[in-house]
Amino acid sequence: MLETQNLTKIYEDGRTAVDHLNLKVEPGEIFCMFGANGAGKTTTINLFLNFIPPTEGTALIEGIDVVREPLRSKEFVSFVSENVTLYGNFTAIQNLDYFTKLSGKRGLGKADYARALESVGLQKDVFDARSKTYSKGMRQKLGLAIAIIKDAPNIILDEPTSGLDPKSGQEFLNLLAGMRDKGKSVFMSTHDIFRAKMIADRVGFMKNGKMGLLMTRDELKGQDLTELYVQFMDERD
Amino acid sequence: MLKDIVKKEIVETITSPKFVFTFLLCAVLILLSVYTGITSYRAEQKEFNAAVALNKKNLESQTSYQTLAGLGTKINRPPQVLSAISSGIDEAIGRVAAVTIAYDPNLVDSKYSSNPVFSVFGALDLTFIVKIVLSLFAILFTYDAIVGEKERGTLKLTLSNKVPRDKLILGKVIGGYISLLIPLIIPLILSMLVLMLFPGIHLTGADWGRLLLMFLIFFLYLSVFFTLGLFVSARTSKSSTSFLVLLFIWVVFVTIIPKVSVLAASQIKPIPSVHEITSKKDAFLQQIQGGAQKEVMDWYKANSPKPGEDQAGFEEKFKKYLEDYQQRVTSEIDANNTALERDYQARKRAQEKLAINLSRISPASALTFSTMSLARTGLDEHQRFLDSIRAYKPIWTKWANAKMMSNIDFSGTGQTAKVVLDDMPQHSFQSETLSKSMIRTIPDIILMVVLIIVFFAGAYISFLKYDVR
């Protein structure tokens, strides 16, 4: 489970990026966070991963305070960034092997890595190709394979489908749905309203660091999410 | 985990095109420089042997001690085998010094004086390659070590795992350094094989000790730039900025500081020009020579035998007088020249010392001075050699004067004594011992170690606080 309690981040220049955010992403749930650039989505993710310290409040992963126990909390989370580039001179297998070892998992072999790569839809003939030759979609899948093989109960994704073609984007989201079905908590920041609506169990609209609107899958039924988004963004603070 | 990070750093680097390029270039440059250094040394050795033989032949062919004293003997500077690794000031200083009765000996006929265009480009020795080329490679290997990972997004992904930052930076340092050393170590081992197997090259145990110490200094020097690269990489948020900052620091370290130090030293501690000293010496010589003729004539007039007196006895007495007089005049000239020279040299050394100490802020200078000392191609070895010639000069002069005066022909027959060189004093010079050379390199080694510690600590602390976003 991912949770924030009054999580606040005010940068040195006085800008409030996240403002008393309270949020919970339960196991088996996909939570999609929308918001304009600078709304605070990526800052929230950076706070979860302890890349920056909060000004106030707490971020918890499986109930572990990420500031107090940063290394232990990272055992329980996988991260997929917007642009997974990885090590270009490494093959998919080599990249997978390295990050698997960093995650603390030992004893996995090439067959395990091949299975993980197959599960995200990568073709066998590219397993031993250098990842710098991969398309963006392939790299994102490789990033997801890294998350899958880590097998952490929580997954955080930062705009993972931006720049992907419709087919790759759809495949990627199907994979996420599969992870949700395995009981993982999935937190995803995205601009991809159309696809998010298809898989999200809940969505949140963020503006000026605050979560302005939270809606469940049922509440979203029959709603035009794009219109909601535009309305929310146009609303006065 | 540390092992995994180290392994990843090594594999990532050695599979990159920059490694292949670096390795090939290093191998070619290092082997080429050692090979050309060795062939150049062998040519110099031949020239040296020929020059020594020619000098002996010239001396032996002299018809009288008078002409021999006028011609003088030539002292040739023996080439140093390790100049193949660090040529130092070897090519800028003279290779031969004429020891005559009248003039203060000085080394002339340097390689650069015979081929001035060479001085524009300098020597392509191993020290030059390490100082310029490999230090740039060290920067090339590290400028994006941290900031590059941030730009690629791999740093975020790495640190989203249970990876302590201190282990990550340590792994990067160890793995990166090993990757940097591979293109250096393999050609260096091959170079050592070339040195061992090349005909006519004989390295003593001490020479090997010097060589290994020079290699250690090369590694330290590269470590300075390697840790500097990591430090700057951990202080910047763009790899292009990191590269520019490093390039600027490199230019300051390698070219600006050494040159500015020499200029600053010449301003802070000015010394008279060589021409000024030479003209003072000449003026004194003319003064002595002007009075000499009159003094000898006066003595001759006062002591010449009257008719019927012992002519042969007078000639012996006159010879003795001339010998003593010549020795006295030569001693006066030597004393004057020595005093002038001592003062000049003391001031010059003070200026040089200041320039060296100022430039030592730069690791490039520390590398140059320490390897020069170890290769025996530095300023100190040059000075010691010059001092040995200057110490030899009065010994030789005394011998030449004695021979010349005791063989003056008063008979008017024109017969002169055959020149015999068996008892001619020989110049000898002992090169600096390895232990003394090592002591001389200590300040440079300490300086480089301090810089490594400072840069590494800077990189380490900066990385612990590094903004990975």
Question: What's the rounded Cα separation, in Å, for the pair B151 and B156?
Answer: 10
Using CB atoms, pick whichever of A49, A82, A98 lies closest to residue B4.
Answer: A98
Supply the pLDDT for residue B120.
66
Is the Cβ–Cβ distance between B435 and B206 less than 8 Å?
Answer: no
Supply the pLDDT for residue B73.
87
* HSE, side-chain direction, 13 A CA sphere, residue B11: 16
A54 Ramachandran zone, left/alpha/beta (phi>0; psi -120 to 50): beta
Using CB atoms, pick whichever of B5, B16, B162 lies closest to residue A74.
Answer: B162
Coarse DSSP helix, strand, coil percentages of chain A, rounded to the nearest 5 percent: 40, 25, 35
Supply the pLDDT for residue B121.
67
In angstroms, what separates the C-alpha of A94 from chain B's closest C-alpha? 9
Q: Does A94 touch chain B (CB under 8 A)?
A: yes
pLDDT tens-place string over residues A135-185: 887 888 888 888 888 888 999 988 877 767 777 777 778 888 888 888 989
Question: Mind listing the pLDDT tens digit of every residue in chain A (237 residues)?
Answer: 889 998 999 998 888 888 888 999 989 999 999 888 888 888 999 999 999 999 999 999 988 999 999 999 999 999 988 777 788 888 889 999 999 999 888 888 888 888 888 887 788 888 888 888 888 878 888 888 888 888 889 999 888 777 677 777 777 788 888 888 889 899 999 888 878 888 888 888 888 888 888 888 888 777 777 777 777 777 655
A121 Ramachandran zone, left/alpha/beta (phi>0; psi -120 to 50): left
Supply the pLDDT for residue B410.
64
Phi, psi of A190 (to 5 degrees): -160, 160
DSSP secondary structure of B237-293: S-HHHHHHHHHHHHHIIIIIHHHHHHHHHHHHS----HHHHHHHHHHHHHHHHHHHH
Using CB atoms, pick whichever of B5, B12, B468 lies closest to residue A51.
Answer: B468
Using CB atoms, pick whichever of B12, B157, B468 lies closest to residue A99.
Answer: B157
Exposed (0-12), middle (13-18) or buried (19+): which is B53, by Cβ within 10 Å? exposed
* HSE, side-chain direction, 13 A CA sphere, residue A206: 29
Pairwise pLDDT comparison (B311 vs B220), residue with the higher score = B220
Pairing, β A154-158 against β A77-80: parallel
Three-class SS of residue A151?
A: coil
Supply the pLDDT for residue A34.
86
Task: Indicate which of A89, A151, A162, A187 best probes the interface with B, i.e. most B CBs within 10 Å of its own CB.
Answer: A89
In angstroms, what separates the C-alpha of A61 from chain B's closest C-alpha? 12
Supply the pLDDT for residue B416.
65
**What radius of gyration, in Å, describes the C-alpha atoms of chain B?**
30
Domains assigned to chain A? 2-87+152-234 (3.40.50.300)
Pairing, β A2-10 against β A56-61: antiparallel
* pLDDT exceeds cutoff 60 at B380: yes
- Say what the pTM is: 0.83
Supply the pLDDT for residue B107.
78
Q: Does A61 touch chain B (CB under 8 A)?
A: no
| Residue A232 CB neighbours (<10 A) | 16
How much of chain B, in percent, has pLDDT values that exceed 70?
96
Question: What's the rounded Cα separation, in Å, for the pair B217 and B367?
Answer: 7
Cβ-defined contact of A86 to B152 (cutoff 8 Å) = yes
* pLDDT exceeds cutoff 90 at B458: yes
In angstroms, what separates the C-alpha of B12 from chain A's closest C-alpha? 6
In this prediction, residues B83-89 reach a mean pLDDT of 83
Q: Does A53 touch chain B (CB under 8 A)?
A: no
* pLDDT exceeds cutoff 60 at B178: yes
Cβ-defined contact of B154 to A87 (cutoff 8 Å) = yes
Domain that holds residue B279: 1-469
Would you tell me the crossing angle of helices B135-142 and B205-233 to the nearest 10 degrees? 30
Supply the pLDDT for residue B461.
93
How many contacts (CB atoms, under 8 Å) link A and B? 74
Supply the pLDDT for residue B296.
84
Query: Of the candidates A32, A87, A92, which has an alpha carbon nearest to the alpha carbon of residue B149?
Result: A87
Query: Of the candidates B324, B338, B336, B329, which has an alpha carbon nearest to the alpha carbon of residue B393?
Result: B338
As a residue count, chain B comes to 469
Contacts of A101 in chain B (CB under 8 A): 1, 4
Task: Indicate which of B160, B167, B466, B469 best probes the interface with A, i.e. most A CBs within 10 Å of its own CB.
Answer: B160
For chain A, where are the alpha helices, taking DSSP H only?
Answer: 41-48, 70-73, 92-102, 110-119, 136-150, 166-181, 193-199, 217-220, 225-234
* Residue A39 token pair: 């709304």
pLDDT tens-place string over residues B394-416: 888 888 888 877 777 666 666 66
H helix and E strand count, chain B: 18, 3
Supply the pLDDT for residue B286.
85
Three-class SS of residue B108?
A: strand
DSSP secondary structure of B71-97: H-EEEEPPPPGGGGT--TTTTTS-SEE
Q: Does A98 touch chain B (CB under 8 A)?
A: yes
Pairwise pLDDT comparison (B175 vs A122), residue with the higher score = B175
pLDDT tens-place string over residues B54-69: 988 888 888 888 888 8
pLDDT tens-place string over residues B271-314: 888 888 888 888 888 888 878 778 888 888 888 877 777 777 88
Using CB atoms, pick whichever of B16, B152, B157 lies closest to residue A79.
Answer: B157
Question: What's the rounded Cα separation, in Å, for the pair A24 and A27?
Answer: 10
* pLDDT exceeds cutoff 70 at B15: yes
Phi, psi of B141 (to 5 degrees): -80, -20
* pLDDT exceeds cutoff 90 at B93: no
* pLDDT exceeds cutoff 70 at B341: yes
Is the Cβ–Cβ distance between A114 and A93 less than 8 Å?
Answer: yes
Q: What is the 3-state secondary structure (H, E, C) of B291-336?
A: HHHHHHHHHHHHHCCCCCCCHHHHHHHHHHHHHHHHHHHHHHHHHH
Question: What's the rounded Cα separation, in Å, for the pair B107 and B51?
Answer: 14
Using CB atoms, pick whichever of B15, B162, B469 lies closest to residue A89.
Answer: B15
Supply the pLDDT for residue B233.
93
Question: What's the rounded Cα separation, in Å, for the pair A180 and B420?
Answer: 106
How much of chain B, in percent, has pLDDT values that exceed 90?
22
Secondary structure element (H or E) that encloses residue B208, with its range = helix B205-233
Question: Looking at the 3D structure of chain B, how many domains does it have?
Answer: 1
Query: Of the candidates B38, B45, B80, B81, which has an alpha carbon nearest to the alpha carbon of residue B194?
Result: B38
